[in-house]
Structure 1
Amino acid sequence: MITKSKYARVGISVLALCIVVALLVAVYFDKLQSAPAEVEINEISDILTAQANQVFDPVLPDSPVRLPSDFAFHNEFQHEWWHFFANVTDENGEEYGVQWSYFRIASNDSNMSGWLSPQIFVSHVVISSKDKVWREQRIARGGIGQAGMTNQPFRVWIDNWYWRSLGRTPFPGQLVAATDTFALELKTATRGPYVIPGERGYQQKHDLLPVASYNITAPFLRVKGTLHLGDDKHVSVTGDAWMSKEWGSGLMAEGQKGWDWFVLRLDDDKTLSVSRYRHNQQLPYMFATLSTNDGKVYEIKSDEIVMEPIQPEAMQNGKQVPTRWFIHIPKYNINLSTRVTNADLWLPFVIPYWEGPIKATGSHSAKGFMQLTGY
């Protein structure tokens, strides 16, 4: 396992953290001063709402996503991120969840390089079992080599964490991340097609305002590798995984509080992704995508979805987070009740949210992940 000097890494991370904190504080107070009194400010809306004094490219419905070229960075847009979720099992049948996220956030629309680069990179890795969580976050300034991307061959990195492949797409690919307390090396390959959700990749997220993003998903993945969980514990695991890439400018509108997002593998050949965007003084906006590994994609509209929280749970930080949900999509005979594997998965990072593995019962016996923001 290759690691950088602990002290060098801490020094770089502290410097980068100061930059990001200064950026976020400035954005926060700017929004606080200009927002109407009835608009609630939270960490998610603060970071992902478009900045009025900056001009980034808009997300438009007549610009279809193209593969493999759109796996590259889109620096003309304000935000970009990757999410990877894996439900894996060791040789003794113990289950683990693995999460890797990689964010690019532009502080302004300039093209400056080096230390003046407007690009901020944030990544985190989380491993969880039914009773324990291993997690770490990295923050970096773009333009100085600490984080970035190459497109051919494909590679994204921050410090000594990276995802790489030999081609222009992420798969077959390898995720490697090492910290002072845990590490992982995972190999991932597709076992089904990519999915371009929404309208050729254009995914609307508000029924009245032009809030949208571009999106690519890989809902059918197989993963295998090793988790290093401290005390010389090396765990060989295999399982299923899911990845998405999303980009845009202003991924939330003023007045949006956050979202509730579920990814569920219904069986070997069907995966469901369902999202619920919450607003102040307005009903939630919902959408879903049902994908099959023979290439069929079904877009599901808000009025076809019933999705309600069943039970809130108090986190250690005092937040009340709904950890159990009911999801009903009559048109496709989907009727699910979800529960979390480990409730202690509020992630107190720069972009904070609850995220972790879930199980569902009802019309299907399903596994997947849940992400809850804005609570």
Structure 2
Amino acid sequence: MNVKALLLALILPLGAQAQGFAGLGTEAQDFAEPVPGHVLQFPADHGPHPDFRIEWWYLTATLTGPDGTPYGLQWTLFRSALAPRDGAGWDTPQLWMGHAAVTTPEAHHAAERLARGGIGQAGVEADPFSAWIDDWAMEGPDLDRLRLTASGTDFAYDVDLRATGPLVLHGQDGYSVKSAAGQASHYYSQPFFDLAGTLSLPEGDIPVTGQAWLDREWSSQPLAQDQQGWDWFSLSFEGGDKMMGFVLRGDADYTSATWITADGQATAFPDGAFAARPLDLTPVAGRQVPTTWQVTLPDRGVDVTVTALNPDAWMSTSVPYWEGPVTITGSHSGTGYLEMTGYDD
């Protein structure tokens, strides 16, 4: 399969001409669907779920160089299925896409890889953990100890990750509802990684340290048909508490949040408890994109302004979106990451 054909195969099963961002509101058809009460099993659920249509291993990190300069790092592996089964060699219906990026205050470097499953070019194994596409890799003896590598034409990174806290299950024990109609995913995170390593940028090699957050999610119809995209926040506050929150934009917005204490205790918040309101729009890649937000979770006294480190952190990938590090001021201070989809028109 040539690159152009593979690109079409990766996009079309997500229904690029169908409902929602990247067609993620398309009906699940014969694919498996998340069910409430399902008990996640580790380390098995660190691996792939080929009977579901879409899945990702999504890592973001906020970093600091030796002179205090802030940076952001992204490493993502997406799995998309043409049919709800696995297979060997070219018979497999499993397709893979990788995104990597480094964001600085002045620049945003990004790259994309496309691969077919079943031939060794890309995949994930749960134990010992290994996720890869071509020569990009996230691997280690388990999910607590990982080495992360990726490169593009003008950047590379090689960093080590060490978990300092527990896994966090979102929603109802990892069953995360996405709409009033009941669309859902299985969703958990490891938000407690310490990171150390090296960024390689046009200006040279830069030693960095920081914190990383890994999201794991799989579903077959994670959006309702009217939902056109989402605004997702992972926020780490001074003092150690953390918060995940998202807004799914549709005829009526749907929200969800998880409050995570410094010792890893998680509290889920239902639709309406969390809010994110754009404060400032920035012209990015020919679009108007909100790059400053007011984010609130009144039950935890959160009322903060979230500001992009670099407003131009646009991912000009096969399915375009905005992804970059942010700073937090207001009732709480800290750093985090923001992802915004559905702003591609």
Normalising by structure 2, what TM-score? Answer: 0.94
Q: Which amino acid aligns with 2:298?
A: P
2:130·2:138 contact (CA, 8 Å) conserved in 1?
Answer: yes
- The aligned residue for residue 171 of structure 2 is 198
How far did 1:17 drift? 4.0
How far did 1:255 drift? 1.2
Deviations 1:124-179 (A, max 9, x none): 11001100121110010111111012222110100000010113xx2210001133
- The aligned residue for residue 290 of structure 1 is 259
2:258·2:266 contact (CA, 8 Å) conserved in 1?
Answer: yes
Q: Does 2:221 correspond to 1:246? A: no
1:119·1:143 contact (CA, 8 Å) conserved in 2?
Answer: yes
Structure with the bigger percentage of helix: 1
- The aligned residue for residue 85 of structure 1 is 60
CA–CA distance in 2 between the matches of 1:138 and 1:56?
Answer: 25
Deviations 1:299-328 (A, max 9, x none): 122232232111121112x21111111112
Secondary structure in structure 2 of the residue aligned to 1:144: coil
How far did 1:234 drift? 0.9
Q: Which amino acid aligns with 2:6?
A: I
1:335·1:362 contact (CA, 8 Å) conserved in 2?
Answer: yes
1:61-76 paired onto structure 2 within 5 Å = 61-76=36-51
Q: Does 2:338 correspond to 1:370? A: yes
Gap change, CA 1:362 and 1:72, over 3 Å in 2: same
- The aligned residue for residue 196 of structure 2 is 224
Match of 1:304 among 273, 276, 279: 273
1:93-242 paired onto structure 2 within 5 Å = 93-167=68-142, 170-207=143-180, 209-230=181-202, 233-242=204-213
CA–CA distance in 1 between the matches of 2:58 and 2:85?
Answer: 26
Gap change, CA 1:29 and 1:203, over 3 Å in 2: closer
Secondary structure in structure 2 of the residue aligned to 1:97: strand
Q: Does 2:237 correspond to 1:266? A: yes
How far did 1:254 drift? 1.1
Match of 1:24 among 11, 18, 27: 11
CA–CA distance in 2 between the matches of 1:29 and 1:82?
Answer: 21
CA–CA distance in 1 between the matches of 2:91 and 2:162?
Answer: 37
How far did 1:27 drift? 6.5
Secondary structure in structure 2 of the residue aligned to 1:283: coil
Secondary structure in structure 2 of the residue aligned to 1:303: coil
Gap change, CA 1:22 and 1:158, over 3 Å in 2: closer
CA–CA distance in 1 between the matches of 2:10 and 2:333?
Answer: 44
CA–CA distance in 2 between the matches of 1:73 and 1:272?
Answer: 26
Q: Which amino acid aligns with 2:238?
A: D
Deviations 1:178-204 (A, max 9, x none): 334321101001111111111110000
Q: Which amino acid aligns with 1:196?
A: L
Match of 1:339 among 307, 317, 320: 307
How far did 1:26 drift? 7.7
CA–CA distance in 2 between the matches of 1:115 and 1:164?
Answer: 25
CA–CA distance in 1 between the matches of 2:17 and 2:271?
Answer: 33
CA–CA distance in 2 between the matches of 1:30 and 1:325?
Answer: 30
Moved more, 175-184 or 247-256: 175-184
CA–CA distance in 2 between the matches of 1:352 and 1:367?
Answer: 24
CA–CA distance in 2 between the matches of 1:23 and 1:75?
Answer: 15
- The aligned residue for residue 8 of structure 1 is none
Deviating beyond 4 angstroms after TM superposition, the runs of 4 or more aligned structure 1 residues are 25-30
Larger radius of gyration: 1
Give aligned pairs, total: 343
Q: Which amino acid aligns with 1:49?
A: G
How far did 1:108 drift? 1.9
Moved more, 218-227 or 176-185: 176-185
1:56·1:249 contact (CA, 8 Å) conserved in 2?
Answer: yes
CA–CA distance in 2 between the matches of 1:114 and 1:122?
Answer: 17
CA–CA distance in 2 between the matches of 1:352 and 1:141?
Answer: 21
Percent identity between the aligned chains? 33
Secondary structure in structure 2 of the residue aligned to 1:256: coil
1:64·1:202 contact (CA, 8 Å) conserved in 2?
Answer: no
CA–CA distance in 2 between the matches of 1:26 and 1:305?
Answer: 32
Q: Which runs of 5+ in 2 are unaligned?
A: none
Q: Which runs of 5+ in 1 are unaligned?
A: 1-11, 32-40
